[in-house]
């Protein structure tokens, strides 16, 4: 969840959107040229911002989404901008969906370098209202899919290694009201990240996590009130909420050689809110 105006000149209650070309202007020039990436949940929200940013950095990007038509639309838009992309559809809780997409990218492009596990399905609510179906879907989409992404990296990344980027959440560090399963899933993603880094390090495959805080995706903004946004602002030292592009830029760093000796780590993208006592 992101921005365009300097924090020191911004009033505390202002929120901002980023111009569409701002990511491109700020991006290191083609630092991922020739690389091949797969992004789950890549058609919307944070996933789409990551797709766009990796493409701007020169990567060929596979867009995997539950709704194939949305992945197709994203690829059409990327192609019109001169990027190379492929669309995939399916439920990422199913191992073969991720493994097959990674294999298809490697077959088409000759390599597979970057695995971004971003997909999540979430329902917030009281503990008493959790159902087995809700829990299974959240765990399958947000936790099991990360395991399959790490497996895909091990199976299809080459001798020169690669980068796995797992999208966790600041909720992994907090007691999230009405978010028992979500917080548990995201904390589990950090465990997978550390263990994956240990196992895949000898292969030159780095495994890291990004932990967004409150981020202004369309889905989030449909479920919050202006009062809730103001409450978030009041608790955030940087005095703004995040945008998907904020998260995408960190993912781009972790995908690149600039983070070549970083593995098993997480980066919070929350404007300092997790540790603030305001």
Report d(CA 17, CA 19) in Å as an integer. Answer: 7
**pLDDT single digits (tens) 97-108:** 999 999 999 999
Q: The tokens 């005095």 sit on which residue?
A: 239
Give residue 176's Cα distance to chain centre: 20
Question: pLDDT tens string for the chain (278 positions)?
Answer: 333 323 333 333 343 444 434 444 444 578 999 999 999 999 999 999 999 999 999 999 999 999 999 999 999 999 999 999 999 999 999 999 999 999 999 999 999 999 999 999 999 889 999 999 999 999 999 999 999 999 999 999 999 999 999 999 999 998 888 899 999 999 999 999 999 999 999 999 999 999 999 898 887 777 678 888 888 888 899 999 899 999 999 999 999 999 999 999 999 999 999 988 65
With contact defined as beta carbons under 8 Å apart, do 116 and 172 qualify?
no
> Which residues are known catalytic residues?
182
Q: Give CATH for domain 7-15+23-269.
A: 3.40.50.720
240 - beta bridge partners? Answer: none
Q: Which helix (H) or strand (E) holds 16?
A: none
Both tokens assigned to 245: 């592009």
pLDDT at 183: 95
| Strand extents, DSSP E, 94-138 | 114-117
| Strand extents, DSSP E, the chain | 36-40, 60-65, 85-89, 114-117, 162-167, 205-212, 266-269
Both tokens assigned to 171: 């909720």
């Amino acid at each position: 969840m992101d921005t365009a105006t300097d924090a020191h000149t911004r009033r505390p209650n202002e929120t901002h959107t980023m111009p569409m070309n701002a990511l491109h202007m700020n991006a290191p020039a083609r630092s991922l040229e020739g690389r091949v990436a797969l992004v789950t949940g890549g058609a919307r929200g944070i996933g789409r911002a990551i797709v766009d940013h990796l493409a701007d950095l020169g990567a060929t990007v596979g867009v995997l989404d539950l709704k194939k038509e949305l992945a197709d639309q994203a690829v059409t838009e990327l192609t019109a901008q001169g990027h190379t992309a492929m669309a995939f559809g399916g439920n990422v809780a199913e191992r073969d969906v991720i493994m097959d997409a990674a294999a298809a990218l490697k077959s088409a492009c000759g390599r597979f370098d970057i695995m971004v596990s971003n997909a999540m399905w979430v329902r917030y609510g009281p503990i008493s209202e959790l159902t087995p179906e809700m829990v299974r879907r959240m765990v399958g989409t947000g936790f099991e899919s990360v395991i399959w992404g790490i497996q895909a990296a091990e199976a299809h990344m080459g001798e020169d290694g690669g980068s796995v980027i797992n999208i966790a959440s600041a909720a992994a560090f907090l007691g999230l009201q009405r978010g028992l399963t979500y917080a548990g899933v995201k904390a589990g993603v950090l465990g997978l990240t550390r263990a994956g880094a240990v196992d895949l390090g000898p292969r030159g495959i780095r495994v890291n996590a990004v932990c967004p805080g409150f981020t202004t995706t369309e889905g989030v903004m449909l479920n919050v009130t202006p009062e809730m946004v103001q409450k978030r602002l009041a608790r955030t030292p940087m005095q703004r909420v995040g945008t998907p592009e904020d998260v995408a830029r960190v993912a781009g760093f972790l995908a690149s050689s600039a983070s070549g000796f970083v593995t098993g780590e997480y980066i919070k993208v929350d404007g300092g809110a997790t540790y603030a006592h305001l």
